[in-house]
């Protein structure tokens, strides 16, 4: 149970150790806006007019309601119901302030805030405390932002209304655990912002849990800074490390503050580069369809990444210089690795040559000078020339009973021609085969078949002694293409 709801603990004195033990059982407090504003506390943000208090307050409320943290600050990760009480702007003025005006000829559109972000302007400011109490209890708001205390003043230099509201808000925080942020106007500071700039409203700081100021940078007037001036804990955002920011709007984002490079979002480098590339292409008037084709991504993803762009993603000069230095260092390292590899290869080659020379010298001393080893050159055997030979020259010529010249290819067992070729009176070639059934005559059509053989085969063939009664099986068609006892033949068709 929270301390704010334990009435017994508040009313009855207890030992300090018992109080500490009770606090240890409570969940830790949540930072709503880093160290500037904690859960269950009343905080005051003050600054001069037109410095951007309302803009920062709306930015904080939107971040709490949507669950999207302001880059670099510790804030709740989940969503919460936030009530923004606007006592300065009308609804029309608020609409115009957060009207997005894209580049080009696009139609301006209103920014779509989170569903848990509520805005109201009570009509009866005299009873504003009761109105806030009722809405917090009935609607379950966990954070309330009041903009601002000056609107409650009934006298030019009166602070009674602000003090009454502050006291009621402290009671409300104790009863419900709600967190309240009050805005207050102050005078311009001549130096570093201080609570004395609040003048007659300075008394509210004594009743607040924490206070912080937003002021203009004296050296760069377009810059603002946040300074923590009061806290129930140790001050963290002091003048030595105060956040620097500037007001900005555009690129699908509402009016708000962009903080220095210490508060840049840690995005994946590839995703960040893709978002910046899409933003740059969009600024040059490219459509989402052409951007999607260029980056080879779906059109919906290109639109979603474009909506994720924010100024904190942009690279600063120091970051660009660091990236360039990192790339140059990687290139130098790669060159150094290449040089080392080349040097190792040269050393290995030199060592091999040295070992080879040493081994040759040792062999020459052992074997003597007359037994020097001569490296034989490997000579590839020359391919034997192939000669085209008339196929009839490989057959046995003879004269038949009719007195015609024939060329015998094969003899039978009795030494008589069995297969032969002959030419008729028109010069046509006939293939004749004789068997027990009689002689068959077949005219040879098409190109003449030439036998192609090597010189060694011819020499081997001529060295064979054959009688007329010895059959020429080696010249048979079944063995012409293979390796035979007489020679190796390859058959190819050629036009004569």
Q: Using CA atoms in the order 131, 133, 135, 137, what is the torsion angle rounded to 10 degrees?
A: -160
The 10s digit of each residue's pLDDT in 45-58 is 999 999 999 999 99
Max CA distance (Å), the chain = 154
Q: Please state, in angstroms and rounded to a whole number, the distance separating the CA atoms of residues 366 and 355.
A: 17
Residue 261: the pLDDT is 76
Task: Please list, in sequence order, all residues whose beta carbon lies within 8 angstroms of the beta carbon of residue 205, skipping any fewer than 6 positions away.
Answer: 44, 195, 198, 211, 229, 230
Range with lowest mean pLDDT among 24-28, 51-55, 256-260: 24-28
The 10s digit of each residue's pLDDT in 323-346 is 788 788 888 888 999 999 999 999
Residue 142: the pLDDT is 96
* More confident call, 88 vs 444: 88
Contact 164, 180 (CB under 8 A): no
Residue 380: the pLDDT is 57
pTM value?
0.56
Tell whether the model's pLDDT for residue 458 goes beyond 80: no
Residue 23: the pLDDT is 79
Tell whether the model's pLDDT for residue 456 goes beyond 70: no
Tell whether the model's pLDDT for residue 479 goes beyond 60: no
Residue 22: the pLDDT is 81
Percent of all residues in the chain with a pLDDT value above 90, rounded to a whole number? 33
Single out the residue of 218, 223, 317, 325 nearest to residue 261, CA to CA. Answer: 317
At 215, the pLDDT band (50, 70, 90 cuts) reads very high
Percent of all residues in the chain with a pLDDT value above 70, rounded to a whole number? 76
The 10s digit of each residue's pLDDT in 398-413 is 877 777 788 888 888 7
Pairing mode, if any, of strands 396-399 and 405-411? antiparallel
Residue 180: the pLDDT is 97
Tell whether the model's pLDDT for residue 146 goes beyond 60: yes
The 10s digit of each residue's pLDDT in 55-80 is 999 999 999 999 888 888 889 988 99
Residue 474: the pLDDT is 42
Q: What number is the average pLDDT over the span 436-457?
A: 55
Range with lowest mean pLDDT among 85-89, 313-317, 360-364: 313-317
Range with lowest mean pLDDT among 100-104, 361-365, 435-439, 467-471: 467-471
Q: What number is the average pLDDT over the span 220-249?
A: 90
Tell whether the model's pLDDT for residue 139 goes beyond 90: yes
Provide φ and ψ at 232, rounded to 5°: -70, -10
Tell whether the model's pLDDT for residue 17 goes beyond 80: yes
Tell whether the model's pLDDT for residue 296 goes beyond 60: yes
* More confident call, 181 vs 490: 181
Residue 412: the pLDDT is 80
Q: Please state, in angstroms and rounded to a whole number, the distance separating the CA atoms of residues 171 and 245.
A: 34
Q: What number is the average pLDDT over the span 411-438?
A: 78
Contact 484, 491 (CB under 8 A): no
- Which domains are delineated in the chain? 3-263 (3.40.50.300), 269-342 (no CATH), 386-493 (no CATH)
Q: What number is the average pLDDT over the span 229-242?
A: 91
Contact 72, 262 (CB under 8 A): yes
The token duo for 169 is 């808000």
Contact 474, 485 (CB under 8 A): yes
How far the first Cα of the chain sits from its last, in Å, is 114
Single out the residue of 87, 111, 90, 91 nearest to residue 99, CA to CA. Answer: 111
Tell whether the model's pLDDT for residue 372 goes beyond 70: no
Mean pLDDT for the chain overall:
79
Residue 43: the pLDDT is 96
Residue 103: the pLDDT is 59
């Amino acid at each position: 149970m929270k301390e704010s709801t334990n009435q017994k603990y508040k009313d009855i004195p207890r030992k300090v150790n018992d109080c500490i033990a009770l606090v240890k059982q409570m969940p830790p407090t949540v930072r709503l806006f880093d160290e500037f504003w904690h859960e269950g506390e009343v905080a005051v943000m003050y600054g001069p007019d037109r410095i951007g208090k309302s803009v920062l307050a709306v930015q904080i409320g939107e971040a709490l309601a949507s669950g999207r943290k302001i880059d670099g600050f510790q804030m709740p990760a989940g969503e919460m119901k936030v009530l923004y009480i606007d006592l300065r702007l009308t609804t029309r003025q608020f609409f115009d302030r957060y009207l997005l005006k894209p580049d080009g000829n696009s139609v301006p559109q209103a920014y779509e805030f989170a569903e848990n972000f509520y805005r109201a302007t009570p009509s009866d400011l005299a009873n504003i405390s009761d109105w806030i109490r009722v809405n917090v209890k009935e609607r379950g708001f966990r954070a309330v932002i009041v903009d601002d205390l000056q609107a409650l003043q009934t006298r030019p230099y009166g602070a009674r209304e602000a003090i009454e509201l502050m006291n009621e808000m402290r009671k409300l925080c104790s009863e419900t655990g709600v967190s309240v942020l009050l805005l207050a106007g102050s005078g311009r500071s001549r130096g570093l912002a201080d609570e004395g700039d609040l003048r007659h409203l300075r008394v509210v700081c004594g009743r607040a849990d924490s206070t912080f100021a937003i002021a203009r940078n004296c050296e760069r007037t377009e810059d603002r800074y946040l300074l923590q001036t009061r806290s129930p804990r140790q001050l963290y955002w002091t003048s030595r490390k105060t956040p620097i920011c500037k007001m900005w709007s555009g690129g699908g984002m509402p009016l708000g503050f962009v903080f220095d490079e210490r508060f840049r979002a840690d995005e994946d480098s590839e995703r960040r580069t893709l978002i910046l590339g899409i933003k740059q292409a969009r600024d040059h008037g490219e459509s989402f369809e052409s951007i999607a084709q260029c980056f080879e991504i779906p059109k919906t993803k290109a639109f979603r990444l474009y909506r994720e762009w924010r100024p904190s993603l942009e690279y600063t000069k120091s970051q660009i210089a660091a990236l360039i230095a990192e790339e140059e260092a990687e290139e130098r390292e790669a060159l150094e690795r290449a040089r080392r590899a080349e040097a190792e290869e040269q050393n290995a080659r030199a060592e091999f040559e040295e070992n080879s020379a040493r081994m040759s010298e040792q062999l020459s001393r052992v074997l003597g000078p007359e037994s020097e080893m001569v490296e034989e050159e490997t000579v590839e055997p020359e391919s034997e020339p192939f000669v085209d030979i008339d196929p009839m020259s490989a057959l046995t010529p003879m004269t038949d009973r009719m007195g015609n010249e024939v060329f015998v290819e094969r003899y039978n067992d009795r030494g008589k021609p069995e297969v032969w070729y002959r030419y008729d009176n028109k010069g046509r070639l006939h293939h004749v085969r004789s068997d027990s059934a009689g002689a068959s005559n077949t005219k040879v059509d098409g190109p003449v078949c030439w036998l192609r053989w090597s010189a060694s085969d011819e020499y081997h063939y001529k060295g064979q002694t054959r009688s007329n009664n010895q059959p020429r099986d080696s010249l048979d068609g079944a063995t012409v293409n293979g390796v035979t006892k007489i020679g190796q033949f390859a058959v190819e068709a050629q036009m004569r």
